[in-house]
């Protein structure tokens, strides 16, 4: 009897997971279908459930409307530069909080964690005023620099470095190795899973960022993908098929990156949560 109950429970669990998987994939499937039809086709009854023949037409219109190739390049430049610098800053700050002993270290860490609870909307006006005062409106550096110090990244890397033996660091110092070289050559390679997770998370968040680039970037030549897609939403007409195609092309790189590096991403997050 117990085996039957256990088997039934397992079957129900798999059924629940299957329903959840289908529910999660339906929006993506609809996005793919909608990208191959015209906007009027999407509002027919019943709506289309198979791929259409308008993919190339929608792609040409998307390029003409938003200069999609250019905005993809803009997004790639901003996301790559931001990810590189933010990851280094977060790793160095996390290392300092984990391995340097100084008065007020706990207060500094607590302050950093508290900033994670501050809504971004509260920071928009003062940050905009600062960017305007230095003449950085409509520039890439205005999108990149204000958020380089990522509180989540600092905490993740701090947790990763906490378990690194202090004796190895002291031995390297006795041998005459400088702190910068110790960090990059000895300590950082050990935290590769956490660093990989941070890189993936940071790149995805910046690639999909909308509010801050929308405020900072005024000219179409500097638009990122989310900002450019927003221009396709008019007051009286919305190009849904173009939006779906643009969203599909934006999602595919993130999906591929996550599928390729999902082991490193999960291992990095779990590894950073082991020691607190």
Q: Is the pLDDT of residue 178 over 60?
A: yes
Which pLDDT tens digit goes with each residue over 118-142?
888 888 999 999 999 999 999 999 9
Q: Is the pLDDT of residue 25 over 90?
A: no
Dihedrals phi, psi of 224, to nearest 5 degrees: -95, 175
Torsion angle defined by CA atoms of residues 88, 92, 97 and 103, in that order, rounded to the nearest 10 degrees: -130
Of residues 124, 13, 101, 139, the one with CA closest to residue 5: 13
Q: Which residues pair with 233 in a beta bridge?
A: 238
Q: Where are the domains of the chain?
A: 68-272
In contact, 116 and 90? CB cutoff 8 Å: no
Q: Is the pLDDT of residue 15 over 90?
A: no
Dihedrals phi, psi of 163, to nearest 5 degrees: -85, 0
In contact, 127 and 188? CB cutoff 8 Å: no
- Residue 137, helix vs strand vs coil: coil
Task: Among 1.10.3720.10, 1.10.357.10, 1.10.1040.10, 3.10.20.30, name the CATH number for the domain at 68-272.
Answer: 1.10.3720.10
User: pTM of the predicted model, to two decimals?
Assistant: 0.86
In contact, 158 and 94? CB cutoff 8 Å: yes
- CB-based contacts of 198: which residues, under 8 Å, 6+ apart? 87, 90, 91, 153, 156, 157, 268
Residues 16-22 have a mean pLDDT of 89
Q: 251 versus 269: which is more confidently predicted?
A: 251
In contact, 129 and 229? CB cutoff 8 Å: no
């Amino acid at each position: 009897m117990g085996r039957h109950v256990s088997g039934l429970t397992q079957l129900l669990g798999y059924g629940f997971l299957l329903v959840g998987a289908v529910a999660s994939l339906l929006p993506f499937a609809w996005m793919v279908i909608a990208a191959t039809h015209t906007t009027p086709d999407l509002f027919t009854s019943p709506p289309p459930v198979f791929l259409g023949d308008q993919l190339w037409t929608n792609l040409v219109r998307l390029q003409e409307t938003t200069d999609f190739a250019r905005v993809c390049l803009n997004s790639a430049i901003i996301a790559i530069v931001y990810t590189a610098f933010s990851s280094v800053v977060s790793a160095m700050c996390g290392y300092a909080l984990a391995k340097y002993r100084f008065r007020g270290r706990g207060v500094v860490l607590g302050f950093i964690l508290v900033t994670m609870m501050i809504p971004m909307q509260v920071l928009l006006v003062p940050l905009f005023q600062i960017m305007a005062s230095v003449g950085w409106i409509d520039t890439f550096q205005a999108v990149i620099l204000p958020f380089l110090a990522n509180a989540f990244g600092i905490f993740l890397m701090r947790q990763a470095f906490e378990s690194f033996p202090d004796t190895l660091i002291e031995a390297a110092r006795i041998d005459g190795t400088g702190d910068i070289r110790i960090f990059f050559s000895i300590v950082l390679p050990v935290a590769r899973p956490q660093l990989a997770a941070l890189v993936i998370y940071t790149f995805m968040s910046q690639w999909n960022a909308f509010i801050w680039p929308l405020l900072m970037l005024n000219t179409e030549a500097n638009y990122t993908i989310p900002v450019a897609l927003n221009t396709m939403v008019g007051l009286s007409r919305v190009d849904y098929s173009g939006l779906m195609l643009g969203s599909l092309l934006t999602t595919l790189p993130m999906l591929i990156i996550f599928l390729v590096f999902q082991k490193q991403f999960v291992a990095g997050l779990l590894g950073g949560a082991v020691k607190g």
